[in-house]
Amino acid sequence: TEIYTLSLHDALPISSDQYQTVSYGPDSAVLLEVTPFYPLTQNLEIGVDFTYWAFTPMVFDASDIHPDYFHDWQRNFSSLELNAASRVYFYKSHNGTQFFLEGKVGIQPMTAQLVQTYQDTGNTPSTDQTGEIANSMGFDAAIKIGAEMDLGNGFSLGFNGGYQYSYATGFNGTFTDAADASRNGVPGSLLVFKDPSSGLNTVTFVPNNSADYSNFGVTSAEVAASRKLVMDLSGLRLAVDLSYKF
């Protein structure tokens, strides 16, 4: 059995400003990955991959100072990858270094969270904290190639890299508003609206009940012209693995 206790990943996002394919993702992240493997033959292993993305700043992490108030806007992202994995060793060098090809496929639950904090020093806006938390289930698949060096006493050090496809859409959740009970706990989804005049894309929380639209500053026309938020984390993955065999 091999247990990969720590992997350092550099994830390169794919994004687009095209109306139909708006996507957002963190620029980079450090991921904790644990992958128990079981050998079927001398050169073939199967296992289960667990990878955790800690909360990662995404899209906005900015503070703006205005004459009358302070506004902090931060969006965070977290995720857990659950994959079936297989590894095939295809070459072993004279110094014991083994080269392998690894593939995995599975699911990736994702969570997007927005928190806005207002600190009033004037009349508008009032002091408040609002935001939303929404979840989606993504599809995950990867192919990578790497090498593993024996360190002795059951330990080995590995290096690998490859491409990982990771995609989710349809983020649904609830809105929170500390100062307005009529908006607090309202269910809805995250949609992307493209302003026809400016051409800018905006991620907007839209209530499930159209009767709540006016309370959230959205119109039926804007909702009809919106698209579901896409979270695309596909890109290159580079990793350093420490493993132990027992």
Nearest to 98 by CA among 184, 160, 140, 17: 160
DSSP per-residue string spanning 24-66: E--S---EEEE-EEEESSSSEEEEEEEEEEEEEEEEEEEEEE-
Q: How confident is the model at residue 7, as a pLDDT?
A: 41
Check if the beta carbon of residue 107 is closer than 8 Å to that of residue 142.
no
Q: How many whole angstroms separate alpha carbon 172 and alpha carbon 165?
A: 22
Q: How confident is the model at residue 79, as a pLDDT?
A: 86
Instruction: Write the burial class of residue 147 (CB in 10 Å: 0-12 exposed, 13-18 middle, 19+ buried).
Output: middle
Q: How confident is the model at residue 5, as a pLDDT?
A: 37
Q: How confident is the model at residue 147, as a pLDDT?
A: 94
Q: How confident is the model at residue 103, as a pLDDT?
A: 95
Is the bond into 125 cis (omega within 30 degrees of 0)? yes
> ∠ at Cα 162 (161, 165), nearest 5°?
135
Q: How many whole angstroms separate alpha carbon 200 and alpha carbon 198?
A: 5
> ∠ at Cα 104 (237, 12), nearest 5°?
20
Check if the beta carbon of residue 191 is closer than 8 Å to that of residue 226.
yes
Q: How confident is the model at residue 178, as a pLDDT?
A: 81
Return the half-sphere exposure (C-beta side, CA atoms, 13 A cut-off) of residue 187: 4
Q: How confident is the model at residue 192, as a pLDDT?
A: 85
Nearest to 92 by CA among 51, 148, 32, 54: 148
> Would you state the structure tokens that stand for residue 166, as one six-digit string?
């990771």
Below-50 pLDDT ranges, the chain: 1-26, 59-67
Q: How confident is the model at residue 217, as a pLDDT?
A: 86
| 91: three-class secondary structure by DSSP | strand
Which residues are CB-contacts of 224 (< 8 A; sequence separation ≥ 6)? none
CA 132 vs CA 68, 85, 136, 231: distances in Å: 25, 34, 14, 16
142: left (phi over 0), alpha (psi -120 to 50) or beta: beta
Q: How confident is the model at residue 6, as a pLDDT?
A: 40
- The dihedral formed by the CA atoms of 204, 207, 213 and 217, expressed in degrees to the nearest 10: -30
* Per-chain mean pLDDT for the chain: 77
